Amino acid sequence: MYEVRHVEIHGHQVAYRMEGTGETILLIHGMAGSSSTWRDVMPALAERHQVLAPDLVGHGRSAKPAGDYSLGAFASGLRDLLDVLDVDVATVVGQSLGGGVAMQFAYQYPERCSRLVLVSSGGLGREVSWLLRALSLPGAELVLPVVAPAFVTERGNAISLWLRDHGVKGGRVAEMWQAYASLSLSENRTAFLRTLRAVVDPGGQAVAASDRLYLTESMPTLVLWGDHDTIIPVEHAYTAQAALPGSRLEIFEGIGHFPQVEAPDRFVEALVDFIGSTTPAPAVRSARSR
C-alpha cells in the first residue's frame, strides 16, 4: 500500500496517500474508516490519474482534536488539503460518510469539483443501520469501551487480514472489522461519536442533501451502490438518480456497503469509464459567494 504522508494544517497533522500523475481523483472514506479502504483500487487508478486519499481529521492516522466534525468542517478541511498540495480541481469520490462530505464539498466549492461520485453514500435519506442509530444515543461513550476492547479487536483484526490475504471473500467483513477495531482507542471513540452524532440521530440520518442536489445538475455525477448494502439501503441510489436526471447509476449485484473493497476491479472499471466518457464541469463561483 502506498506510504502514508503527513502535512500540518491549522496546527493539526493530516495523513494522506498520493500517487500517480494526471487529473486528480480525491477519494474520501467513510465513518471510522481511513485511506486504507482504497488500497485495492489505488494502484490501478494511479496508472491513469493522480490519486489522493486522505484520512479525514478524527480518522486513521490524522489528528483527532476536540472540535467540529460536521460535513461542512470536513469539506473545508479537504479544500485546505488541496490548497497545501497544489491541487486545483479533482473528481471527488465519497463512500458512505464520505459521500455526504463529497456532496457538501461540491456545494461549498463547486469550482474545485470537476465530477462527483457517490458510493453507498450517506445524506440521501433517513434510513441507516440500526447499530449506528443506537450508537448515537446518550451513553454510547460508556458502552463502546466494553464492546470494543483492545484484546478482542487485535485478534479479530489478524483473522480478517488473514482471510483477505488468502483470497477468502471476506472484504466486507474485513472492512467492517477494521473500523470496529479502531474504536478500541479512546481518542478514536471520541472522534467517532462526534462524527456520528453530527449526521445520525436515533431516528436515522439527520443530514440530507436532497434539497441541494440541484446545485450539481451541471456536474457529471456517478452513483454507485451494492444491492446487498445493509448499512444504507440501495433505494437511496435511485433517490439520487431521480434528483439528478443526468447522472449515471451503477448497481453492483451481490455487493454490500464497500464496493471498492468487495469488487475492486469492477469499481475501477466503472470509475475510469465515467471519467473518460464525461467532460469536467466548468469552473463556477462558490455557492457560498452567491
Would residue 201 count as lying in a domain?
Answer: no
Do the Cβ atoms of 194 and 144 come closer than 8 Å? no
pLDDT of residue 100: 95
**Strand 5-9 to strand 12-19: parallel, antiparallel, or no bridges (unpaired)?**
antiparallel
Residues 42 and 1: their CA atoms lie apart, in Å, by 9
Residues 276 and 268: their CA atoms lie apart, in Å, by 12
User: What phi, psi does 60 have (nearest 5°)?
Assistant: 55, -130
Do the Cβ atoms of 32 and 182 come closer than 8 Å? yes
pLDDT in tens, 213-249: 777 878 999 999 999 999 999 999 999 998 888 899 9
Band (63; pLDDT cuts 50, 70, 90): very high
Asked if pLDDT for residue 80 goes beyond 50, the answer is yes
CATH number at residue 63: 3.40.50.1820
Q: Give the active site residue among 29, 49, 59, 257.
A: 257
**Nearest 10 degrees: Cα torsion 39, 260, 41, 248:** -150
Asked if pLDDT for residue 3 goes beyond 60, the answer is yes
If residue 268 lies in a helix (H) or strand (E), which one and from where to where? helix 264-276
Q: How many domains does the chain have?
A: 1
Instruction: Report the candidate in 116, 111, 64, 123 with the shortest Cα–Cα distance to residue 93.
Output: 116
Would residue 179 count as lying in a domain?
Answer: no
Do the Cβ atoms of 195 and 207 come closer than 8 Å? no
- Collapsing DSSP states into helix, strand and coil, what is residue 43? helix
How many percent of the chain have pLDDT more than 90?
Answer: 67
pLDDT in tens, 126-155: 999 998 898 888 887 766 654 554 444 444
Q: Is the dihedral of CA 152, 155, 159, 165 positive or negative?
A: positive
Would residue 183 count as lying in a domain?
Answer: no
pLDDT in tens, 255-283: 999 999 999 999 999 999 999 999 998 86
User: What phi, psi does 222 have (nearest 5°)?
Assistant: -115, 130
Residue by residue, DSSP assigns 138-192 as TTHHHHHHHHS-HHHHHHHHHHHHHHHHTT-S-HHHHHHHHHHHHTTSHHHHHHH
pLDDT in tens, 34-49: 999 999 999 999 999 9
pTM of the predicted model as reported, rounded to 2 decimal places: 0.89
pLDDT in tens, 96-126: 999 999 999 999 999 999 999 999 999 999 9
| 96 given a catalytic annotation | yes
Residues 215 and 110: their CA atoms lie apart, in Å, by 9
Look over the chain and give the mean of its residue pLDDT values, rounded to a whole number.
Answer: 87
Would residue 87 count as lying in a domain?
Answer: yes
| 228 given a catalytic annotation | no
Would residue 213 count as lying in a domain?
Answer: yes
Q: Is 160 exposed, middle or buried (0-12, 13-18, 19+ CB in 10 A)?
A: buried
Would residue 190 count as lying in a domain?
Answer: no
162 Cβ neighbours under 8 A, 6+ residues apart: none
Would residue 39 count as lying in a domain?
Answer: yes
Band (186; pLDDT cuts 50, 70, 90): confident
Q: Which residues span the domain enclosing 26?
A: 5-128+206-283
Q: Give the active site residue among 35, 36, 96, 136.
A: 96
Do the Cβ atoms of 62 and 81 come closer than 8 Å? no
Residue 258 vs residue 157, higher pLDDT: 258
Instruction: Report the candidate in 27, 257, 237 with the shortest Cα–Cα distance to residue 124.
Output: 237
Would residue 20 count as lying in a domain?
Answer: yes
Q: Give the active site residue among 49, 62, 229, 247.
A: 229
pLDDT of residue 212: 78
In this structure, of 88-92, 249-253, 259-263, 280-284, the range with the lowest mean pLDDT score is: 280-284
